């Protein structure tokens, strides 16, 4: 609800009740009429309020004293009693205000009452400040914990990126070995078919992995060089690289060094990335060392 709408809803545009025009002295005239009828309203209200307060009915005593204050705003004894009622209700600030009004009306309060109320107000304010300080300290601790967790998550993200890059490297290497082994096996079959003098069953022993690697290594190297994305690795020497969408330190290490696990070398050469590389951003220009 807007402020303008709230103001419209709270405008004092109610219709007046039938009767004489207000003169601002209705409580005094009400008390005068009751006094002429033999009912001394101030004394009756004061005594009832005092009896209710002694019995512990502080709310009812407060209501009578407030009514008495309307009939006679300068009744110092009523204001002093109301200050005591507020004090027993724990409403120290209101009690101090009533006490000041009672003093202005000529009432004599008990010695030490004002000092006691002011002490309670100071204690209450100190308690509120301590409560706010505890809340602020708890929120600060939660904020520090969140920051620590964020740093841990960033480090874990970098570690996972490195593991993914190393897995891709191993996958590409095994693909190259498999392709070279297939080519080598095909060449053996073709040679055997061409050199065999008669169609006799030929048993080809299955080489061990070490034998396969030793035999096909000369073939794997050029094939892997052709198939590997690292074939276009930039020339040696310091280079500059502008970060594109989706690039990470692990991917840059894989591109320039052939191994994603060497991302720390790029991080060390670019202090603007921060201690854990969390400041890496799109369009940032990085130095790629040799």
Q: In the predicted model, what is the mean pLDDT of residues 83-87?
A: 95
Domain that holds residue 64: 24-110
Domain count across the chain: 1
**pLDDT attached to residue 43:** 87
- Whether 74 maps to a domain, the answer reads yes
Note whether 219 and 184 are within 8 A (CB). Answer: yes
- Whether 187 maps to a domain, the answer reads no
- Whether 81 maps to a domain, the answer reads yes
- Whether 13 maps to a domain, the answer reads no
**pLDDT attached to residue 20:** 62
Mean pLDDT of the chain: 82
- Whether 78 maps to a domain, the answer reads yes
**pLDDT attached to residue 18:** 80
Q: Is the pTM of this model over 0.85?
A: no
pLDDT in tens, 112-128: 999 999 999 999 999 99
Q: In the predicted model, what is the mean pLDDT of residues 55-81?
A: 92
- Whether 186 maps to a domain, the answer reads no
Q: Which of 56-60, 159-163, 219-223, 237-241 is predicted most confidently?
A: 56-60
- Whether 85 maps to a domain, the answer reads yes
Q: How far apart are CA 266 and CA 38, in angstroms?
A: 100
pLDDT in tens, 164-222: 989 998 999 999 889 998 998 888 998 888 887 665 555 556 655 555 445 455 544 55
Q: In the predicted model, what is the mean pLDDT of residues 38-47?
A: 81
> CATH number, domain at 77?
1.25.40.10
pLDDT in tens, 4-27: 555 566 666 677 668 665 555 556
- Whether 28 maps to a domain, the answer reads yes
């Amino acid at each position: 609800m807007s402020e303008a709408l709230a103001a419209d809803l709270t405008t004092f545009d109610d219709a007046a009740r039938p009767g004489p025009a207000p003169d601002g002295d209705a409580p005094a005239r009400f008390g005068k009429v009751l006094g002429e009828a033999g009912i001394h309203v101030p004394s009756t209200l004061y005594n009832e309020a005092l009896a209710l307060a002694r019995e512990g009915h502080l709310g009812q005593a407060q209501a009578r004293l407030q009514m008495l204050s309307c009939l006679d705003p300068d009744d110092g004894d009523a204001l002093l009693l109301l200050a005591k009622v507020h004090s027993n209700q724990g409403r120290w600030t209101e009690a101090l205000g009533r006490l000041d009004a009672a003093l202005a009306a000529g009432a004599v309060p008990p010695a030490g009452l004002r000092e006691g109320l002011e002490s309670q107000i100071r204690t209450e304010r100190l308690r509120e400040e301590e409560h706010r300080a505890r809340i602020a300290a708890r929120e600060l601790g939660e904020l520090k914990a969140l920051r620590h967790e964020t740093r841990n998550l960033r480090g874990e993200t970098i570690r996972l990126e490195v593991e993914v890059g190393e897995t891709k490297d191993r996958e590409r290497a095994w693909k190259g070995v498999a392709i070279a082994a297939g080519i080598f096996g095909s060449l053996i079959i073709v040679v055997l078919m061409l050199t065999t003098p008669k169609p006799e069953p030929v048993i080809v022993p299955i080489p061990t992995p070490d034998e396969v690697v030793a035999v096909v290594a000369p073939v794997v190297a050029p094939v892997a060089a052709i198939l590997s994305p690292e074939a276009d690795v930039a020339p040696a020497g310091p280079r500059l690289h502008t970060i594109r969408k989706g690039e990470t330190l692990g991917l840059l290490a894989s591109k320039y060094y052939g191994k994603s696990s060497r991302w720390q070398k790029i991080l060390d050469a670019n202090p603007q990335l921060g201690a854990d590389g969390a400041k890496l951003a799109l369009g940032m220009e990085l130095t790629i060392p040799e």
